[in-house]
Amino acid sequence: MKVLVPVKRVVDYNVKVRVKADGTGVETANVKMSMNPFDEIGVEEAVRLKEKGVASEIIAVSAGPTACQEQIRTALAMGADRGILIEHDGVLEPLAVAKLLKAIVAKESPELIILGKQAIDDDMNATGQMLAALLGWAQGTYASKIESADGGLKVTREIDGGLEILQLKLPAIITTDLRLNEPRYASLPNIMKARKKPIETVKPADLGVDVTPRLTVLKVEEPAKRQAGKKVGSVQELVDKLRNEAKVI
């Protein structure tokens, strides 16, 4: 089966983000950018499905500025076969991304789409579910295990308090949780090979999708800073402070 893996370009998870002085957003100029970590898990899972002979072709898709090609190249170096860049400068909300991906699905007819459960920039946790809704497909969110079963997929999901196992009909949407797998590092030969893999570029208008944001960001501010407290010298002092100063135990 053909597998689609959407990948998002985000501020690297190691970067301490700074709110812009004018309150319009966070500073992204001259900041290290990477593939969203949960999307890496999605690419890895697709590559493992291909290695098992379940997936036939893996297409990595990214929506955003031209520079998103870097994240598509990363996916190609990990093992995706080709890429599609939906080029757009400006804000793309999950609903818009889901509509763009739906248009790509109409062209490519994948049977499985694996997305990260959440992007670490806007923390929306939405695109996979929204895409599943627009396509009328089953969704298996927060997946920690995926198996082929009975002509569909058996998905183990991370839920509050434990795990849940669902049977999904295909085609289906999966969103990845942390423990689904540990993504590989691309080897140098694979990085070289990825340079020759094709990336097609399209625009939202080519796909007939209106990407106008529905949310206006009125301001972005830093949360109240927490003051560092004091160091205590011993366990006895700690318990005394908790009992008699903070009065929390």
Nearer to other proteins, 74 or 141 (CB): 141
User: Crossing angle, helix 69-78 and helix 37-51, to 10 degrees?
Assistant: 30
How far apart are alpha carbons 103 and 32 in whole angstroms? 30
Minimum distance from residue 228 beta carbon to other proteins (Å): 5
Q: Which two tokens stand for residue 44?
A: 């890895």
> Which C-beta is closer to other proteins: that of 22 or that of 160?
160
Instruction: Match 């999605």 to its residue by tokens.
Output: 42
Least distance CB 61 / other proteins (angstroms): 18
Nearer to other proteins, 188 or 224 (CB): 224
> To the nearest whole angstrom, how small is the minimum distance from the Cβ of residue 150 to other proteins?
10
* Cα–Cα dist 91/30, whole Å: 18
For the bound state, the minimum distance from the C-beta of residue 142 to other proteins, rounded and expressed in Å, comes to 7
- The position carrying tokens 């942390």 is 178
CA-based torsion, 116, 105, 184, 189: positive or negative: negative
Nearer to other proteins, 41 or 80 (CB): 41
In this complex, which beta carbon is closest to other proteins, that of residue 189 or of residue 223? 223
The minimum distance between CB 192 and other proteins, in angstroms, equals 30
CA dihedral 162, 98, 45, 108 (to 10 degrees): 140
Alpha carbon distance 241, 6 (integer Å): 50
Phi, psi of 148 (to 5 degrees): -75, 135
